[in-house]
Amino acid sequence: MASSPTLSKLSLSLVFLFFASLSSSNATSRLIHVRAYPPQSRAERLIRSLNLFPKDQVNVIKCDIAAGFVPGKIVEKKFSFLGDSGPSIEDLGHHAGYYSLPNSIAARMFYFFFESRSNKDDPVVLWLTGGPGCGSELALFYENGPFHIANNLSLMWNDYGWDQTSNILFVDQPTGTGFSYSYDNSDIRHDEAGISNDLYDFLQEFFKAHPEFVKNDFYITGESYAGHYIPALASRVNQGNKKNQGIHINLKGFAIGNGLTNPMIQYQAYPDFALDKRIITKADYDNISKSIPHCEQAAKTCETQGGKSCETAFNICDGILSSIMSIAGDINYYDIRKKCVGDLCYDFKNVETLLNLPKVKRALGVGDYLKYVSCSGIVYDAMVQDWMRNLEVGIPALLEDGIKMLVYAGEEDLLCNWLGNLRWVHAMEWSGQKAFGTSPTVKFVVDGAKVGSVNNYGPLSFIKVHGAGHMVPMDQPKAALHMLKSWMGGKLT
């Protein structure tokens, strides 16, 4: 097994998106109001923010498992978390499996698949959790999966699980995340090309194993750093379809929730959002905004030169967020309505406890030698040169092909705030840019109650969700399910 991670490394393992920003002291030292934390106390604060303590930093197994490795093979089993008191396994249609990645030394990708509770003809929806490096089970058990975890580790049906209206896949990716693993460090991915190819290969084999779902509409969804993963995978699927590669995947759309997609634009929105929410003063705003031109130039250099220049851009741009957080104090970065109690902003520890139980791992077909890695600092580090990349660039071609995109954002999230997301959507150049820019903002209504606002034109939709932070399906589950069903059904507005 991988050795126990150091405290400073663990500080990276618990982020959905931007928490490493507090370490970019060089980028922020020129700004006023920066509060310096000793490295150890800063690491402890980040670790405790989600109350996750993965025992290993990545699932790279230190033993030879290559002998049984068959590239491109899926091994899947049905399971039931509900025991004797619940429906039978046959009735549930719940699956867990491993896919052996063909473009790897010996990497295996873990996934859950839950058939629709309503109709097997419902769309197939793929959910990708961000990080980079956080397991999909965080969403499965705390956001939009079929179950929630009770304090005694029993499972309760989620009335607003997305399996109510879709056949839904949750995948642990990139390699090393969650229950996905390898025995070779070279299988850790570093860019969107490697990640999207792995996911595309998985989807091809998944539909071979489940041919009854090939005809169904297919949607890619996710949140946070998945604002990178989702456009890259959508482009890869569309490219494969156009070239008649393997099975035609019936891609109809993709949805990004509180995502990081165009960092240059989104980082520039931080001071405006923070000032509007009264997190900072006008004097703070003026000081922090002096860094915006440096961030913009660094981001442009990253796009043209790549490599180390992208790490430099991250350090410079993240200084903007660091400065805001040094003023904000104990604010919950995911939901500014809330304060963190001490260092604890959320309590997600039950997912680690549940998934590391031997009986649960046996039910899922997971080896006893594996530990569930809720968030991987090594995977996170490996993607550092990918962070500042602009993944919006491939989206216009998808829109022109009639593939729908939904961008939604909880309005109380600071990290991937709605303002930055709306700005990059407006700035995107495509044939409908002007029409979308002048589209009316209408109410987003669920059961007669206004829960947000919608802008829509052609294949492009944007929703700001009231009363929600970074994790919309957790904060506004009913609205999130209604949003998904309405959007897939073409009845969002």
Question: Among the options 11, 224, 374, 376, which is catalytic?
Answer: 224
Three-state DSSP state, 39:
helix
Overall average pLDDT of the 319-330 stretch: 93
Is 470 catalytic? The answer is yes
For the sheet with 167-171, list strands across it.
74-78, 94-100, 108-114, 167-171, 124-128, 218-224, 251-259, 404-410, 460-465, 449-457, 442-446
Q: Is the pLDDT of residue 86 over 80?
A: no
The predicted pLDDT at position 345 comes to 84
> What is the rounded distance in angstroms from the CA atom of residue 234 to the CA atom of residue 200?
9
pTM over 0.85: yes
Distance CA 99, CA 389 (A): 28
Catalytic annotation, pick one of 172, 335, 413, 475: 413
The mean pLDDT of 389-401, rounded to a whole number, is: 98
- Is 163 tagged catalytic? no
Judge whether residue 206 has pLDDT over 80.
yes
- Quick one: average pLDDT of 196-223? 98
pLDDT of 375 above 50 = yes
- pLDDT score recorded for residue 341: 74
Residue count of the chain: 493
Lowest mean per-residue pLDDT among 218-227, 354-363, 377-386, 439-448: 377-386
pLDDT at 492: 85
- Beta carbons of 389 and 304 less than 8 angstroms apart: no
Q: How far apart are CA 102 and CA 120, in angstroms?
A: 29
Domains of the chain listed by start with CATH number: 7-57+281-349+364-382 (no CATH), 66-262+390-488 (3.40.50.1820)
- What one-character DSSP code corresponds to residue 128? E
Average pLDDT over every residue of 458-478? 98
| Mean pLDDT value of segment 408-425 | 98
pLDDT at 295 over 90: yes
- The SS3 assignment for 154 reads coil
Which of 94, 148, 228, 470 is the catalytic position?
A: 470
pLDDT at 317 over 80: yes
The reported pLDDT for the residue numbered 330 is: 87
Query: Do the beta carbons of residue 45 and residue 37 sit within 8 Å?
Result: yes
Structure tokens at 120: 């097997």
Query: Which of 1-10, 23-32, 228-237 has the highest mean predicted lDDT (pLDDT)?
Result: 228-237
CA gap 28, 36 in Å, rounded: 10
Question: Is 94 labeled as catalytic in the residue annotation?
Answer: no
- Locate 162 and state its tokens: 């997305």
Contacts of 118 (CB under 8 A, 6+ apart): 164, 165
Mean pLDDT taken over the chain: 87
